[in-house]
Amino acid sequence: MSQPLRVGVAGLGTVGGGVVRLLREQADLLALRCGRPIVVVAASARDLKKKRDVDLSGIRLESDPMALATAKDIDVVVEVMGGSDGPARQLVEAAIANGKSLVTANKALLALHGAEIARLAEAKGTLLGFEASVAGGIPIIKALREGLVGNRVKRLYGILNGTCNYILTTMRETKRDFGDVLAEAQKLGYAEADPSFDIDGVDAAHKLSILAAAAFGAPVNFAGVHVEGIRRVGALDIAFAEELEYRIKLLGVARETENGIEQRVHPCMVSNKTPIAHVDGVFNAVVVEGDFVGTAMFQGRGAGAGPTASAVVADLVDVARGHGLPPFVVPTAKLSAKPVASIEKRRGAYYMRLMVLDRPGVIADITAALRDENVSLESMLQHGRSHGPNDSVPVVLVTHETEELAMRRAVTRIAALNTVIEPPNLIRIEDF
Amino acid sequence: MSQPLRVGVAGLGTVGGGVVRLLREQADLLALRCGRPIVVVAASARDLKKKRDVDLSGIRLESDPMALATAKDIDVVVEVMGGSDGPARQLVEAAIANGKSLVTANKALLALHGAEIARLAEAKGTLLGFEASVAGGIPIIKALREGLVGNRVKRLYGILNGTCNYILTTMRETKRDFGDVLAEAQKLGYAEADPSFDIDGVDAAHKLSILAAAAFGAPVNFAGVHVEGIRRVGALDIAFAEELEYRIKLLGVARETENGIEQRVHPCMVSNKTPIAHVDGVFNAVVVEGDFVGTAMFQGRGAGAGPTASAVVADLVDVARGHGLPPFVVPTAKLSAKPVASIEKRRGAYYMRLMVLDRPGVIADITAALRDENVSLESMLQHGRSHGPNDSVPVVLVTHETEELAMRRAVTRIAALNTVIEPPNLIRIEDF
């Protein structure tokens, strides 16, 4: 059997611990499948005294991750510390500079510095694996770089944040409101104490920018992602969505258009007949539309020690097998920066939920505003009556396909009506 | 740029034509993504005079596929002729013997001779790609060999035949009966004139045996698959399934158990809350349950020129990139033949639909038969009354978990009752 692949794991948190455990438990299986053993020779952690429930015997422990980048007995560094800058970035750059291959689960790092890190790796001829950075255990980076490599991707979209999907699923199942479900998710450990990174869509946007780069052969462009989170999705919206036979999902959508690359993360209404509508709870899913393959969907657990370790190890096996390719499929010199296609040009249908005073002429004013912006209406829902002239009732309008900019102008007009007492809640309807 | 990869395509039917078209249309893209061009230098077809709607200019045409196996200017042969023996098998063996890599979409060939062909390829050090043999454009072989390689697969199951899934979906949507929908599918080209290969489950069994080999590291064992088709699924069963909140799907299920490897293809009832229940029409899907990744599902078009060409080309790109690995993940010498776990040991719930004469004591006799075999009942459905003593009504029984053998004995007892006027229709309930 050939030389073992010698691994250094930087970070012994949930993911790092999972990687060490997987490599130990499946050592024989992996040696058989790779033709050589994969062995963790060293690991680093901030606090080496912390008690961990993973067997670290035989593993050299370092308090400074940079020791892994320079160690002579390490072939590949696994970076699972996290953080877009600081120690993680320094480690990654140093490891590559020392000719080591690099496997990372760090989406923030890649979203912000992916193109540069790919260039470094390419210049050194080392491999850069980042399967674990997007959608946990789902081998979606491999699908884009290899399994679907014969396709021009026309569009891809996905549920990229398990916390948001868990919250939206629970809101639908229990008919409870956002704040209530978020608090529960925090108690259960599905949401962080500071949940903004997840629920404001930033995490999903990191992942989307990485997927788009691999799919379209463009440098990662996180700054080009339009981002909205799920805070404004109410129990009322979920209920109206059910009635309209939609589900509300926080999706990342990326598309190559005539005007450039469109990347956006926001709550979407999707038909309950489309498969992604049925991806519930903490599951993630990515749909890829290719010109030959048609529509393909990949679904699985988007986070957690096991799924993430599964993805990290898949990258390690590629390194062990010597299967290299440019990180974003084409050589970095050939990655072509493309303009950002503004969301203002989006064409599609819209759901708009208003809280209005129940007075004569309200609907006439609203529909006149839509008419003035050339937005045509597909349907309107109104339930219940108010209990007095200052009490509000919800009204839902669903438009035909229109342009985002026209819709925004209509919303501005409608928001200015003094019978409309809350900012209109606009949710884009995606036609998959 | 390096030397082009020179391809010979054996078979210019739907799939072969699709491969030629993809390699032409995406030539620049593929050269960029592989670092070298992929060029079709020759192709073979039985009838060279046949008019085809694919551009064959610059491609040397051969009437004998064996010419591709021996041609000095071909690096890799694509076998898309079909057939488990005869010319396809001769070609594959000859091409490998001549040191060429081999990419095939031929599931029948691999199901029956996969282990032997893998041995030949390994001995010659050539690559063997068969992504297109299972589930069309879905990169599921790559997922098992690479993306999920860090996992021990506990179970996998899938919708592996688009014709059956189309028929079952249409039956549900239109409430029509099997024969009627089959006839329509034949008219639309979704089912063959002789549909038995699809609807009797043979095609799905071929694919399941290939998946199981890659997942469990065992030689392909098609003979070990228990196979039942969908002919006996009636409109009545579909309607009862809806009422019970199930969907009926033809699934292939493979599992590694203490007694060996279980492989079975048959109609299943699955909860309408499970994602695979929502894979409709001609789509295929494969669910893999791994010990680290948890549950991952892969869904897409299971047939057709585009999806199949997408899979063939993914394999060609692996060859172009020099990414080789043993065909069934571990070296053929390490594939361990495991015993067949008989379906008689299956434990699970069962749906049984009976047509009974509506007379006193009928249900007592049926439930006594179940009791005598220790099968306990979860629920019973009976709708409508007969219009006379010789008229029959449907009765549906759903059991708790029991062993297949006990269930079969109970069915034999029940079938022998003279108030039960049709053979009981038994459908296994799968708990995913």
Give the residue-averaged pLDDT of B53-80: 97
- The confidence score (pLDDT) of residue B359 equals 86
CA distance B317 to chain A (A): 8
Q: Hunting for tokens 């499929």 — which residue is that?
A: A329
A243 plus A361 within the same structural domain: no
Count interface pairs A-B at CB distance under 8 A. Answer: 176
Given A82, A98, A133, the domain boundary residue is A133
Give the residue-averaged pLDDT of A10-16: 96
Q: How far apart are CA B376 and CA B366, in angstroms?
A: 12
Distances (CA, A) of A258 to A325, A407, B135: 28, 21, 33
B91 plus B61 within the same structural domain: yes
Q: Which residues of A touch B245 (CB under 8 A)?
A: none
- The confidence score (pLDDT) of residue A100 equals 98
Look at residue B220 and tell me if it is in a domain.
yes
Given B343, B366, B396, the domain boundary residue is B343
Contact B314 A147 (CB under 8 A): yes
User: How much of chain A, in percent, has pLDDT values that exceed 90?
Assistant: 93
- Choose among B131, B298, B331: nearest Cβ to A298: B298
Mutate to test the interface with A, among B140, B173, B293 (most CBs of A within 10 A): B293
- Choose among B35, B150, B313: nearest Cβ to A310: B150
Residue A336 structure tokens: 């072509």
User: How much of chain A, in percent, has pLDDT values that exceed 70?
Assistant: 99
Q: Which residues of A touch B131 (CB under 8 A)?
A: 147
Q: How far apart are CA B108 and CA B112, in angstroms?
A: 6
Task: Domain of residue B280: give its range.
Answer: 140-302+332-343
User: Which residues have C-beta within 8 Å of that of residue B292, sequence separation ≥ 6?
Assistant: A18, A22, A137, A306, A307, A309, A310, A313, B150, B151
Note the pLDDT tens digit of each residue in B120-161.
999 999 999 999 999 999 999 999 999 999 999 999 999 999
The CATH number covering residue A404 comes to 3.30.70.260
- Choose among A148, A311, A331: nearest Cβ to B310: A148
Closest CA to A72 of A41, A118, A39: A41
Say whether residue B129 is in contact with chain A using an 8 A CB cutoff. no
Look at residue A318 and tell me if it is in a domain.
no
A233 plus A116 within the same structural domain: no
ipTM of the complex: 0.95
Note the pLDDT tens digit of each residue in A133-159.
999 999 999 999 999 999 999 999 999
Look at residue A248 and tell me if it is in a domain.
yes
Note the pLDDT tens digit of each residue in A380-389.
998 777 677 6
Identity of residue B6: R
Q: What's the whole-number average pLDDT of chain B? A: 95
Helix, strand and coil content of chain A, in percent to the nearest 5, comes to 40, 25, 35
User: Which residues have C-beta within 8 Å of that of residue B277, sequence separation ≥ 6?
Assistant: B246, B247, B249, B270, B271
Q: Is A50 exposed, middle or buried (0-12, 13-18, 19+ CB in 10 A)?
A: exposed
Q: Which residue of B lies nearest to A297 if distances are taken between CA atoms?
A: B299
Chain B residues 307-346 within an 8 A CB cutoff of chain A: 307, 309-311, 313-314, 317-318, 321, 323, 325, 329-331, 334
Given B87, B118, B133, the domain boundary residue is B133
- The confidence score (pLDDT) of residue A284 equals 98
Looking at residue A135, the DSSP 8-state letter turns out to be S
- The confidence score (pLDDT) of residue B1 equals 53
Contact B149 A317 (CB under 8 A): yes
Phi then psi for residue B146, to 5 deg, are -135, -60
Residue A328 has pLDDT above 60, yes or no: yes
Look at residue A390 and tell me if it is in a domain.
yes
Q: How far apart are CA A428 and CA A254, in angstroms?
A: 15
Q: Residue A24 CA to chain centroid, in angstroms?
A: 29
Residues in chain B: 432
- The confidence score (pLDDT) of residue A390 equals 76
Active site residues of B: 207
- Choose among B301, B323, B325: nearest Cβ to A294: B301
B278 plus B211 within the same structural domain: yes
Give the residue-averaged pLDDT of B351-380: 94
Identity of residue B171: M
Look at residue A64 and tell me if it is in a domain.
yes
Note the pLDDT tens digit of each residue in A291-317.
999 999 999 999 999 999 999 999 999
With H, G, I as helix, E, B as strand and everything else as coil, classify residue A229.
coil
The CATH number covering residue B15 comes to 3.40.50.720
User: How much of chain B, in percent, has pLDDT values that exceed 70?
Assistant: 99
Residue B106 has pLDDT above 90, yes or no: yes
| Cβ proximity of A136 and A303 under 8 Å | yes
A151 plus A273 within the same structural domain: yes
Note the pLDDT tens digit of each residue in B163-209.
999 999 999 999 999 999 999 999 998 898 899 999 999 999 999 99
Buried b (16+ CB within 10 A) or exposed e, A237-251: bbbbbeebebbbbbb
User: Which residues have C-beta within 8 Å of that of residue B94, sequence separation ≥ 6?
Assistant: B66, B69, B70
Contact B275 A299 (CB under 8 A): yes
Q: How far apart are CA B252 and CA B159, in angstroms?
A: 7
Give the residue-averaged pLDDT of A214-226: 96
A63 plus A159 within the same structural domain: no
Say whether residue A139 is in contact with chain B using an 8 A CB cutoff. yes
Q: Which residue of A lies nearest to B24 if distances are taken between CA atoms?
A: A150
- The confidence score (pLDDT) of residue B358 equals 86
B252 plus B145 within the same structural domain: yes
- The confidence score (pLDDT) of residue A391 equals 83
B111 plus B254 within the same structural domain: no
Chain A residues 51-110 within an 8 A CB cutoff of chain B: none
Q: What's the whole-number average pLDDT of chain A? A: 95
- pTM for the complete prediction? 0.96
Q: Which residues of A touch B300 (CB under 8 A)?
A: 293-297
Looking at residue B420, the DSSP 8-state letter turns out to be B
B221 plus B118 within the same structural domain: no
Residue A58 structure tokens: 């035989």
| Cβ proximity of B420 and B354 under 8 Å | yes
Three-class HEC string of B163-229: HHHHHHHHHHHHCCCHHHHHHHHHHHCCCCCCCHHHHCCHHHHHHHHHHHHHHHCCCCCHHHEEECC
Residue B386 has pLDDT above 90, yes or no: no
B295 plus B356 within the same structural domain: no
Residue A322 structure tokens: 């010597």
Q: Please tell me the total count of domains within chain A.
A: 3
A196 plus A269 within the same structural domain: yes
Give the residue-averaged pLDDT of B1-27: 95
Look at residue A103 and tell me if it is in a domain.
yes
Distances (CA, A) of B149 to A127, A362, B153, B193, B326: 18, 61, 9, 40, 13
Look at residue B316 and tell me if it is in a domain.
no
Q: Residue B213 CA to chain centroid, in angstroms?
A: 13
| Cβ proximity of A128 and A110 under 8 Å | no
CA distance A108 to chain B (A): 22
Range with lowest mean pLDDT among A102-116, A388-402, B257-271, B285-299: A388-402
**Pair type for strands B101-104 and B76-79:** parallel
Q: Is A99 exposed, middle or buried (0-12, 13-18, 19+ CB in 10 A)?
A: exposed
Note the pLDDT tens digit of each residue in A80-124.
999 999 999 999 999 999 999 999 999 999 999 999 999 999 999
Residue A394 structure tokens: 């919800």
Note the pLDDT tens digit of each residue in B234-255.
999 999 999 999 999 999 999 9
Q: Which residues of B touch A151 (CB under 8 A)?
A: 26, 310
- The confidence score (pLDDT) of residue B132 equals 98
Contact B149 A30 (CB under 8 A): yes
B91 plus B161 within the same structural domain: no
Catalogue the E-assigned strands of A105-177. Answer: 128-129, 153-159
Look at residue A221 and tell me if it is in a domain.
yes
Chain B residues 395-424 within an 8 A CB cutoff of chain A: none
Residue A310 structure tokens: 């599964």
- The confidence score (pLDDT) of residue A1 equals 53
Give the residue-averaged pLDDT of B396-409: 97
Say whether residue B162 is in contact with chain A using an 8 A CB cutoff. no
Q: How far apart are CA B148 and CA B129, in angstroms?
A: 17
- The confidence score (pLDDT) of residue B42 equals 98
Contact A299 B294 (CB under 8 A): no
Chain A residues 211-250 within an 8 A CB cutoff of chain B: 217
